[in-house]
Amino acid sequence: MLGKGGKRKFDEHEDGLEGKVVSPTDGPSKVSYTLQRQTIFNISLMKLYNHRPLTEPSLQKTVLINNMLRRIQEELKQEGSLRPMFVAASQPADPLSDSFHEAQPAFSHLASPPLLPTDFVSTMPLESCLTPASLLEDDTFCTSLAVQHDGPTKPPPPALQPVKDSFSSALDEIEELCPAPTSAEAVAAESAADDSKAQPSESNIHKPEGLPESRTAESKLMDPLPGNFEITASTGFLTDLTLDDILFADIDTSMYDFDPCTSATGAASKMAPVSADELLKTLAPYSSQPVTPNQPFKMDLTELDHIMEVLVGS
């Protein structure tokens, strides 16, 4: 359907925001994918904080939101590691969805040990007798068993390691330059240079350099955003991480004010069909610049440019 150029772009963005992975080969779609991802990221963070404080939040919901955040985090990090290899936009391949694909197996690798704790089982005579449920209440029982065996319960997934290493070394450099929020700047650095395009084949070559890097820098990003699934007297999440200090310092919630769907209490009676569109309208002004709708990221852009030059140079 022919219409004003602006309107067509509008429809494109509407498709882009809701659910589907948009092929980021052309400029506007890629931006909308990034906007979509950022929006979902922000929504997810707000959800973790907005549960009813009186009763325990649903663990299933928490786990699903957490997985969403991790996936987006991982994607952002992989984009960060791809950045030195960016070239102009004429790639037939689909780098962002590739990284999205890659994020999944990386986490499924992490996910599998908890489900099959064969090491966990074999050190105790659990094979031969039933475990009374009463013993499960005692968390020290579980953790002491985990300490007992020699084999790694959670072997660091090799697929993840190389990706993190180049990035973590970059983070180390960033940390030296400015001691404060390293991860936020890294995220912002990725977003800042987002207008350059990735080259997937080179990123694959880039990855297998498996250096046994220390976990200090990468742990700050890799450690889950909600630090703790055990419910404590407080909300229980986001206990002691540097990341949440940045992310929660100043969340731009202006995009949520207009939309009845976004009330903190939960379900709206009717889904406003324009919510996605309106979100994009408010975000549109940002699309012309590096996609950093959040305040804390803006302040260090010049410093980030310097850092990126350092990274590209090395």
Partner 1 sequence: FLGAGGGNDIQWCFSQVKGAVDDDVAEADIISTVEFNHSGELLATGDKGGRVVIFQQEQENKTQPHSRGEYNVYSTFQSHEPEFDYLKSLEIEEKINKIRWLPQKNAAQFLLSTNDKTIKLWKISERDKRPEGYNLKEEDGRYRDPTTVTTLRVPVFRPMDLMVEASPRRIFANAHTYHINSISINSDYETYLSADDLRINLWHLEITDRSFNIVDIKPANMEELTEVITAAEFHPNSCSTFVYSSSKGTIRLCDMRASALCDRHSKLFEEPEDPSNRSFFSEIISSISDVKFSHSGRYMMTRDYLSVKIWDLNMENRPVETYQVHEYLRSKLCSLYENDCIFDKFECCWNGSDRQVGFLPLCTSDYSLIVMTGSYNNFFRMFDRNTKRDITLEASRENNKPRTVLKPRKVCASGKRKKDEISVDSLDFNKKILHTAWHPKENIIAVATTNNLYIFQDKMN
Contacts with partner 1 in 178-217 (CB under 8 A)? none
Tokens representing 309 are 């030059």
- 2 touches partner 1 (CB under 8 A): no
Q: Which of 6, 90, 128, 179 binds partner 1 (CB under 8 A)?
A: 128
d(Cα 30, Cα 115) in Å, to the nearest integer? 36
Distance CA 308, CA 174 (A): 10
Residue from 156, 157, 162, 224 in contact with partner 1 (CB under 8 A): 224
Single out the segment in contact with partner 1 by CB under 8 A; choices: 11-19, 182-190, 200-208, 295-303: 11-19
Cβ 242 to partner 1 shortest distance, Å: 16
Q: Judging by beta carbons within 10 Å of its beta carbon (0-12, 13-18, 19+), is residue 202 exposed, middle or buried?
A: middle
CA angle 95, 97, 101 (to 5 degrees): 115
Residue 151 within binding range of partner 1, rule CB under 8 A: no
CA atoms of 202 and 238, how far apart (whole Å): 35
Interface with partner 1 includes 156 (CB under 8 A)?
no
Tokens found for residue 101: 């694909």
Decide: is 150 part of the binding site for partner 1 (CB under 8 A).
no
**Residue closer to partner 1 (CB basis): 61 or 306:** 61
Rounded distance, CA 255 to CA 193, Å? 23
Structure tokens at 189: 């650095």
Using CB under 8 A, which residues numbered 46 to 105 contact partner 1? Answer: 47, 54-56, 58-61, 63-64, 66-68, 70-72, 97, 100
Q: Contacts with partner 1: how many residues (CB under 8 A)?
A: 79
